[in-house]
């Protein structure tokens, strides 16, 4: 392991790679700071540049953009009151008041260092947990893997918007798109309608850029007046602000319980498929407020209100990478793009990824660590760039990026057909956005469609008995959580008004304890007993209080494009 780590250090600390990462972090910081320009879009647009790079260079650059983007959102949120990304919404609640109260340098310092420590905490967990989780992943048979994909899709659909059915339709459409072209198992052409190009199906990148980036830019341009105005009014943002690093570090350490709790929330939110920084920052803010002795100060510029969301959203990145690297399942659009990047370099994401590609896996770990240090170094520089970029009108930026999309997509296979695919899916993505369909499930459907089909086929080849999906513990576990994830939107809507919601979590815990009892060894059945006991306790507590529901949180949880 030490030897692998040394190799990884040598790869990541190579001058060219350091330069690429610095550019990536800077681009991420700027992209994250621009409202409407999401981190996911920045990572998507980075992908074409990575074709000509080695896997380590490509992935390091993308990780740089990812980490930079998560921290960039705080700049605009604090200085203008408009969060740059959904993952920094809660930062604005206290960051903006603090900046307006004459302490912008301290507000930025708290945000930057909370992001840093949250990210480093998740990086430590990434290095220690991902290989262990991958060992669990090695236990998975095709039945379990198929059910895991199903879970990833259902939870994404249920968290992606207000309309569950539209989310489910989007996920199923994604799966259908993945079936077009030659079947991976038998080599038979499907839905090609006699068109030669369609026989090879759709390459992931043009579909992704079309559905996501192209349609996003078109949506940003929709308002003709707004499209001609500067990106945002940053007149209140002074590029000469000095970030108060030392004071901020001291304040962050003085509130270490908040930092630790929020980072843990961030990591575990990231580990869950579909849940990202847009959810974790609000959850961490809510928890910090509940745990505070002075909750009334939240919203007026309290340091705890900045530390919680910023440490949580950066920690989410580490959590998402844990799932991606250990199980080969993307947690969100960003990790889906990273999986796409791995596929481009012929690296197959799966539970064996870390053991099969230790050099690359450890390079990702090191790059994730390093990106946080670069982020700290580049924050002051990008503050000036951010103020400059905000003066550019959207129509100018969008037109140039659209041309870049065409060039970038062509670079993948050197065929014009890919640009037509981009154009076609750009229209579909735009229409879907206008009709209120979430895009995350469709993208995950496209990425996971092949994995689902391959594993279904393998499972049927081994044994045609469909009951194995219910009798194998891991498969049953994922199917059960899939069912509960489908019910989650109803639970969320009714949890402050309907008594049945009090039984939702206990029943979920009791249900998932069943497959744990079916597993071998001692640890997992013991966890099953603990879950069952917790379930009984929660039911008893609700019964003792007469099944009365009480408001439990200030914010609904929805996945937004981070």
Partner 1 sequence: MARLNRDTLIALLLLVFCGVMISASLDIEETNYGTMQSSVWPQVVLGVLTVFCLAMLGQSVLKPSVVKTENGGGSSGLGRYRNAITVYVLFFLFLVTLPYLGMLLGGIGFVFLALTLLGEPELKRVPLHLAVAVGTVGLMWSIFTFGLGVLLPDGELLQLN
The angle, 0 to 180 degrees and rounded to 10, between the axes of the packed helices 142-159 and 164-179 is 130
Q: Which of 7, 9, 395, 547 contacts partner 1 by CB under 8 A?
A: 395
Interactions with partner 1, residue window 196-215 (CB under 8 A): none
467 counts as binding partner 1 under rule CB under 8 A: no
490 counts as binding partner 1 under rule CB under 8 A: no
- What is the spatial distance between Cα 403 and Cα 161, in angstroms, rounded to a whole number? 30
168 counts as binding partner 1 under rule CB under 8 A: yes
Give the number of C-alpha atoms closer than 13 A to the C-alpha of residue 256, restricted to the C-beta side: 4
Q: How big is the site for partner 1, counted in residues (CB under 8 A)?
A: 66
> By CB under 8 A, which span of 113-121, 257-265, 357-365, 445-453 interacts with partner 1?
445-453
Longest distance between any two alpha carbons in the chain, whole Å: 69
Least distance (Å) from partner 1 to the CB of residue 129? 33
Two tokens at 561?
């494009």
Asked if residue 492 lies in contact with residue 275, where contact means CB atoms within 8 angstroms, the answer is: no
- Beta-bridge mates of residue 352: none
Coil vs helix vs strand at 304: helix
* Choice between 172 and 527, CB closer to partner 1: 172
Least distance (Å) from partner 1 to the CB of residue 157? 9
* Choice between 433 and 524, CB closer to partner 1: 433
Q: Which of 132, 138, 223, 253 contacts partner 1 by CB under 8 A?
A: 223
Q: Could you say which DSSP state residue 181 is in?
A: E
> By CB under 8 A, which span of 16-24, 104-112, 290-298, 411-419 interacts with partner 1?
411-419
Q: Is 60 left (phi over 0), alpha (psi -120 to 50) or beta?
A: alpha
Q: Which of 132, 228, 384, 493 contacts partner 1 by CB under 8 A?
A: 228
* Choice between 377 and 403, CB closer to partner 1: 403
430 counts as binding partner 1 under rule CB under 8 A: yes
- What is the spatial distance between Cα 427 and Cα 333, in angstroms, rounded to a whole number? 19
Q: Which of 7, 9, 373, 420 contacts partner 1 by CB under 8 A?
A: 420
Interactions with partner 1, residue window 27-56 (CB under 8 A): 49, 51-52
Least distance (Å) from partner 1 to the CB of residue 371? 22
Asked if residue 342 lies in contact with residue 329, where contact means CB atoms within 8 angstroms, the answer is: no
19 counts as binding partner 1 under rule CB under 8 A: no
494 counts as binding partner 1 under rule CB under 8 A: no
Asked if residue 291 lies in contact with residue 265, where contact means CB atoms within 8 angstroms, the answer is: no
- Beta-bridge mates of residue 258: none
Q: Which of 124, 457, 514, 547 contacts partner 1 by CB under 8 A?
A: 457
Beta strands in 78-168 (DSSP E): none
Coil vs helix vs strand at 348: coil
* Choice between 184 and 233, CB closer to partner 1: 184
Q: Minimal CA–CA distance to 421: which of 411, 430, 409, 412?
A: 409
Q: Of how many residues is the chain composed?
A: 562
Least distance (Å) from partner 1 to the CB of residue 169? 5
Asked if residue 514 lies in contact with residue 474, where contact means CB atoms within 8 angstroms, the answer is: no
- What is the spatial distance between Cα 154 and Cα 480, in angstroms, rounded to a whole number? 11
- What is the spatial distance between Cα 136 and Cα 157, in angstroms, rounded to a whole number? 26
> By CB under 8 A, which span of 200-208, 233-241, 294-302, 401-409 interacts with partner 1?
401-409
Cα-Cα-Cα-Cα dihedral sign, residues 527, 533, 536, 538: negative
190 counts as binding partner 1 under rule CB under 8 A: yes
User: Where does this chain bind partner 1 (CB under 8 A)?
Assistant: 49, 51-52, 162, 165-166, 168-169, 172-173, 175-176, 179, 183, 185-186, 188-191, 193, 218-228, 393, 395-396, 398-400, 402-404, 406-408, 410-411, 414, 416, 419-420, 423, 426-427, 430, 433-436, 449, 452-453, 456-457, 460-461, 464
């Amino acid at each position: 392991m030490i030897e692998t780590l040394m190799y990884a250090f040598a790869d990541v600390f190579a001058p060219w790679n350091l330069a690429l990462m610095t550019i990536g972090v800077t681009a991420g910081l700027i992209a994250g700071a621009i409202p409407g320009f999401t981190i996911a879009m920045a990572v998507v647009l980075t992908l074409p540049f990575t074709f000509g790079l080695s896997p380590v260079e490509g992935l390091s650059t993308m990780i740089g953009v990812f980490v930079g983007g998560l921290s960039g959102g705080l700049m605009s949120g604090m200085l203008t009151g408009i969060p740059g990304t959904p993952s920094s919404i809660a930062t604005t609640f206290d960051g903006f008041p603090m900046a307006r109260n004459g302490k912008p340098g301290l507000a930025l310092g708290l945000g930057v260092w909370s992001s840093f420590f949250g990210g480093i905490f998740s990086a430590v967990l990434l290095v220690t947990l991902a290989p262990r989780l991958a060992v669990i992943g090695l236990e998975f048979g095709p039945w379990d893997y198929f059910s895991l994909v199903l879970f990833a899709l259902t939870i994404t659909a249920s968290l992606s918007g207000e309309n569950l059915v539209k989310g489910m339709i989007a996920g199923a459409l994604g799966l259908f798109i993945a079936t077009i072209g030659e079947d991976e198992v038998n080599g038979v052409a499907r839905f090609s309608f006699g068109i030669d190009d369609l026989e090879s199906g759709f390459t992931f990148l043009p579909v992704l850029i079309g559905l996501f980036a192209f349609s996003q830019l078109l949506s940003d341009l929709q308002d003709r007046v707004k499209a001609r105005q500067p990106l945002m009014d940053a007149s209140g943002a002074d590029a000469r602000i000095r970030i108060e690093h030392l004071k901020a570090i001291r304040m962050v350490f003085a509130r270490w319980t908040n930092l630790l709790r929020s980072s843990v929330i961030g990591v575990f939110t990231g580990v869950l498929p579909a849940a990202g920084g847009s959810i974790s920052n609000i959850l961490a803010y809510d928890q910090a407020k509940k745990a505070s002795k002075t909750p009334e100060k939240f919203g007026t510029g309290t340091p705890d209100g900045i530390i919680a969301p910023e440490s949580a959203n950066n920690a989410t990145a580490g959590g998402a990478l844990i799932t991606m690297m250990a199980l080969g399942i993307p947690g969100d659009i960003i990790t889906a793009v990273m999986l796409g990047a791995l596929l481009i370099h012929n690296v197959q994401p799966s539970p064996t990824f870390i053991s099969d590609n230790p050099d690359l896996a450890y390079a990702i770990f090191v790059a994730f660590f390093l990106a946080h240090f670069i982020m700290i170094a580049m924050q002051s520089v990008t503050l000036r760039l951010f103020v400059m970029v905000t003066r550019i009108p959207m129509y100018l930026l969008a037109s140039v990026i659209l041309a870049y999309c065409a060039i970038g997509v062509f670079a993948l296979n050197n065929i014009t057909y890919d640009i037509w695919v981009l154009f076609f899916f750009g229209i579909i993505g735009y229409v879907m956005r206008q009709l209120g369909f979430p895009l995350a499930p469709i993208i995950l459907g496209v990425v996971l469609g092949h994995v689902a089909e391959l594993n279904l086929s393998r499972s049927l080849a081994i044994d045609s008995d469909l009951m194995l999906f219910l009798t194998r513990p891991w498969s049953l576990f994922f199917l059960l959580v899939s069912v509960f994830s489908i019910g989650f939107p109803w639970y969320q809507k009714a949890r402050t008004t309907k008594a049945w919601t009090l039984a939702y979590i206990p029943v979920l815990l009791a249900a998932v304890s069943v497959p744990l009892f079916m597993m071998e060894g001692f640890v997992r059945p013991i966890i099953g007993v603990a879950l069952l006991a917790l379930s009984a306790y929660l039911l008893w507590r609700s019964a003792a209080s007469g099944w009365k529901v009480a408001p439990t949180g200030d914010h609904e949880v929805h996945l937004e494009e981070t």
